[in-house]
Amino acid sequence: MPMKDGNAYRESLRTLKLNVYAFGEKIDNVVDHPLFSPHINAAALTYELAHDPTAEDLVTTTSHLTGKKISRFTHIHQSTSDLVKKVKMLRMIANRTGTCFQRCVGFDAMNATYTVTYEMDQALGTHYHERFRQYLEYIQENDLMVAGSMTDPKGDRSLRPSQQADPDMYVHIVKKNEKGIVIRGAKAHQTGIVNSHEMLIMPTTALSAEDFAYAVACAVPTDAPGVLHIFGRQTNDERRLDGEIDQGNALYGIVGGEALTVLNDVFVPWERVFMAEEFKFAGLLVERFASYHRQNYGGCKGGVSDVIIGATAAMAEYSGTAKASHVKDKLTEMVHLTETLYSGSIACSAEGAPTPSGAYFVDPMLANTVKQNVTRYIYEICRLAHDIAGGFIATLPSEKDLHHPEIGQYVEKYFKGVASVATEDRIRMARLIENMTGGTALAESMHGAGSPQAQRVMILRQANLERKKSLAEKLAGIKAKN
């Protein structure tokens, strides 16, 4: 089957029988609904670029399973070059969308599951890896979008999964038979889930023997019986129902269209099960996925920052402040922070190495470091954008006021900047900055791919402090301890 283009992707979503709610109402058609169409447009662009000669070297590759041309979003990394191209692809697409295009989570979930199932089989004599290879071939052949489903609601964070008052706070196996398993629970913050074809479920934390029922990895269609999606509120989402200008990025939206996905006794056949109670491997799967996913952020957030920098520079020109030395200095700092993030993602990719499965894995120390930097630098980039753009980005009258027959003339008159730029264009750029630097975008930069503390835990784990201590002791003339 040939790779989909954007229209084929949209049509494939129409065939799904999704159970989706938003604003307290059941949504029968997500493809044409204004709440969802920006996210769908962003994901659709990833399909369109696979057919663009200027982008296909990054967006497509050759399957190591079939030898066929496939989307890179369904690929298993075979070299450090693959890891580097992934980061470059993410920055390029983010440049074109200015937002999340949602396919990274499933991409990372597939790579993590591929490597860990191989090691599980080697250690336990199971057959999960071959099952996953067959599933992956199905995804590649049909060019499907997969949502990576790791984050559980977690309930009382001081308690382990098996200690929760409500056992459904973590997804778990409630039944096993010769045909498959039945799972129950929910996955939170699911990026792009309502416009994905499949969800790849993984455990969200390392598990103990008492938590064995929570050690589950499996693939579930997003419209499978028992699956319910409750769409989350997005910053300024009601503006999508009012007009174009006030949205800022009307075509692609601002964030990834996250949802709470409820799993009410969902049956999963064995051929789609890749971990079932092997609790000792849950932590490894979590760490692999987290590092792959944290690799991304200098690419995708670097690409989004490029757009913020461009919008801020344009706003300075529109307002007549572009030549001020302090404005130039602040723009320079924004560029410096962005390129620092990008270089971290390139570094953790270039320093990657093969796993026992043959698939390549990023350097986990550098991957966690770049994501830790994202949790800080994006806030500073956005702060500088606010500084340069001015306070009016937060107090602008609405698009309806601009176009009002009586009061529109005053909005037009008093929000004028330099004479050569139309007031509406200045307002449009202000709205883009407002939306791209708002609360949801910043929160995703902070907590996407795990909280800052999660990266700090892994950074310390990867730090090899004993080696660093021995270096210092040697230079200090301290004899090695027995």
The residues annotated as belonging to the active site are 100, 104, 191, 258, 293, 297, 300, 444
Q: Among 456, 293, 441, 450, which Cα is nearest to 381's? A: 441
Among the listed residues 432, 66, 443, the one whose alpha carbon sits nearest the alpha carbon of residue 256: 443
User: Exposure of 447 by Cβ count < 10 A (0-12 exposed, 13-18 middle, 19+ buried)?
Assistant: middle
Cα distance between residue 303 and residue 246, in whole Å: 22
DSSP symbol at 422: -
Reduce the secondary structure of 347-379 to three states and give it as a string: HHHHCCEECCCCCEECCHHHHHHHHHHHHHHHH
Burial of 1 (0-12, 13-18, 19+ CB in 10 A): exposed
83 and 349 in contact (C-beta within 8 Å)?
A: yes
Phi, psi of 228 (to 5 degrees): -130, 130
The rounded radius of gyration (Å) of the Cα atoms in the chain is 24
Q: Judge contact between 89 and 59, C-beta under 8 A.
A: yes
Q: Other CB atoms closer than 10 Å to residue 6's CB: what's the count?
A: 18
Burial class (CB in 10 A: 0-12, 13-18, 19+), 265: exposed
Tokens standing for residue 93:
């697409």
Max Cα-Cα span within the chain: 86
- How far, in Å, CA of 410 to CA of 192, rounded? 40
